[in-house]
Amino acid sequence: MRVGVVGASGYAGSEVVRLGGSHPDLEVVLVTGESSAGVALGAHVPALAARFPDLVLEANESVLEAELDLVFLALPHGKSQALVARLVERGVAVVDLGADFRLKDPALYAAWYGEAHREPGLLARAVYGLVERHREELVGATLIAAPGCYPTATALALGPFVDEGVVEREGIVVDALSGASGAGRATSDRLHFSRLAANAEAYGLTRHRHTPEMEAELAASLLFTPHLVPVARGMLVTAYARLAEPLTTEAALGLLAARYAHDPCVVVTESPPTLKDPVGSNLCFVSAAVDARTGWLVAMSSIDNLVKGAAGQALQAWNVASGRPETLGLPLTGVTP
C-alpha cells in the first residue's frame, strides 16, 4: 500500500516512517514537513537515510494531490482537521496521531484546546485506536484517532480495575514521567540541556489536555500531573485509586493477567515496571499493588512514548482495522541497556 506521512519531520512522524519501513505491506512514498520542505528526509533525520535515500520532505498540502492508500498524520492539534476531511472524501484511509479526533464531544475539544472543532461531523466516525480496549470497533475503520501517550499508559494500567468496578471512579490520581521527546522536536526553555539535565519538572498542572481523554476512556474523574524527566524516550505512570471492595495484590495481578492474556503488546509483571523496560518496542508493561492499610490500589505502567505511545500504536490500530495480524511490522523487544 502507498503511504504518506504528514509531519514526518517531527519525532512521532519520523518514527512512523521508521516503523513503516519495516512493515511488509507498506511503502512510504510521501513525507511532509512544512518548515523543512525541500530537505532530504535523510538529511533531516539521519537515522532514516539508508532506508529512505530518495525521499524529500514536501509541504503538507501535497498529501491532498498524491495517489495514496493510507495517510498517517503527525501534526499539532488543530492542524489535522481540514486535511482529514479532504482525504476522507477521496476514500483515503487516515490514522491521526494528533488530538483532533480523540474527543467525541466538540464542546469538550473547545474547552480544553481553546478553539472550536472545524469538522465535528467526523468525530463520530473516528475510532479510538487503543487496540487492547477497542479491538472489535477498529475492524474495518478508515478513520482512526490514535490515543495520546499518557492516556495509553494510564488506560492500560487502570482500565481493567475500573471496568470490573473494584475501584472508585472518583478521586483517581495519576502521576506520570515522560522523556523529553514527548514535547516534540520544537525547542523551548524547559527543553534546554542546562535546564533539563539532572532535573525533573511538573507541568500542565490541573489542565493538561490529555485529562479529558483519560476521563472519557475510563468513564472516571481524575487528577493528572505529568513530569518531564531528562531522558529521550520512555514513560512511567503511577496511578492511585481507592478500592471499592476488598482486593489483594495477588488478586490485582491476577485480574491484569486475565485481562491481557491475549494481548501480545501488554506484559504483566509482579515487580513495578521501569521507564526503560519497553524503550524501542511497542510493549506496555503493567503491574499493580494493593495497600491494605489505606485501602488504595496502585496501578503502574511503562511504555515508549514514541512507539506504543504514538507511531507503533498507530500501526497496530491500522493492522487491526485492515484485517492484518496486529503485531505485523512492530518491534516486540526493547533495547537494553
- pTM to 2 decimals? 0.97
| pLDDT for the residue numbered 191 | 86
| pLDDT for the residue numbered 268 | 98
Query: Smallest Cα–Cα separation from 213: which of 117, 337, 98, 293?
Result: 98
Query: What CATH number should be reported for the domain holding residue 256?
Result: 3.30.360.10
Q: Which regions of the chain does DSSP assign to beta strands (E)?
A: 2-6, 27-32, 70-73, 93-96, 127-128, 143-145, 172-178, 201-202, 222-228, 235-242, 266-268, 284-291, 296-303
Dist CA 31 CA 298 (whole Å): 42
Which residues form the catalytic set?
149
Determine, yes or no, domain membership for 335.
Answer: no
DSSP H or E stretch at residue 211? helix 211-218
Determine, yes or no, domain membership for 313.
Answer: no
Q: Do 121 and 153 lie in a common domain?
A: no
Reported as a single tens digit per residue, the pLDDT across 157-193 is 999 999 999 999 999 999 999 999 988 877 788 888 8
Query: What CATH number should be reported for the domain holding residue 16?
Result: 3.40.50.720
Dist CA 203 CA 297 (whole Å): 25
The bridge status of strand 284-291 relative to strand 296-303 is: antiparallel
Q: Do 173 and 108 lie in a common domain?
A: no
Query: Smallest Cα–Cα separation from 50: which of 75, 22, 69?
Result: 22
Which of 125, 157, 186 is the last residue in one of the domains? Answer: 125
Reported as a single tens digit per residue, the pLDDT across 254-300 is 999 999 999 999 999 999 999 999 999 999 999 999 999 999 999 99
Determine, yes or no, domain membership for 322.
Answer: no
The b-or-e profile of 64-73 (16+ CB within 10 A means b, else e) is beeebebbbb
Q: Do 88 and 8 lie in a common domain?
A: yes
What are the residues facing 176 on neighbouring strands? Answer: 226, 237
Determine, yes or no, domain membership for 130.
Answer: no
Determine, yes or no, domain membership for 249.
Answer: yes
Q: Do 21 and 80 lie in a common domain?
A: yes
Q: Do 108 and 169 lie in a common domain?
A: no
Query: Smallest Cα–Cα separation from 85: which of 109, 117, 128?
Result: 117
Do residues 286 and 268 lie in contact, with contact meaning Cβ atoms separated by under 8 Å?
Answer: yes
Q: Do 60 and 120 lie in a common domain?
A: yes
Q: Which three cell numbers stand for residue 113?
A: 484546546
Q: Do 112 and 183 lie in a common domain?
A: no
Q: Do 157 and 248 lie in a common domain?
A: yes
Total domains, the chain: 2
Determine, yes or no, domain membership for 102.
Answer: yes
Residues 6+ apart with CB under 8 A from 266: 132, 156, 260, 283, 284, 285, 286
Q: Do 167 and 297 lie in a common domain?
A: yes
Q: Do 159 and 299 lie in a common domain?
A: yes
Dist CA 180 CA 230 (whole Å): 6
Do residues 250 and 288 lie in contact, with contact meaning Cβ atoms separated by under 8 Å?
Answer: no
- Taking every pair of C-alpha atoms in the chain, what is the biggest distance, in angstroms? 62
Supply the DSSP string of 272-323, one letter for each residue: PP-TTTTTTSS-EEEEEEEETTTTEEEEEEEE-TTIIIIIHHHHHHHHHHTT
Determine, yes or no, domain membership for 166.
Answer: yes
Residue-by-residue pLDDT tens, the chain, 337 positions: 999 999 999 999 999 999 999 999 999 999 999 889 999 999 999 999 999 999 999 999 999 999 999 999 999 999 999 899 999 999 999 999 999 999 999 999 999 999 999 999 999 999 999 999 999 999 999 999 999 999 999 999 999 999 999 999 999 999 999 999 988 877 788 888 899 899 999 999 999 999 999 999 999 999 999 999 999 999 999 999 999 999 999 999 999 999 999 999 999 999 999 999 999 999 999 999 999 999 999 999 999 999 999 999 999 999 999 999 999 999 999 998 8
The b-or-e profile of 156-190 (16+ CB within 10 A means b, else e) is bbbbbbbeeebbbbeebebebbbbbbbbebeeeee
Q: Which domain holds residue 222?
A: 149-304
Half-sphere exposure of 307 (CA within 13 A, CB side): 27
Q: Do 86 and 220 lie in a common domain?
A: no
The b-or-e profile of 216-239 (16+ CB within 10 A means b, else e) is bbbebebebebebbebebbbbbbb
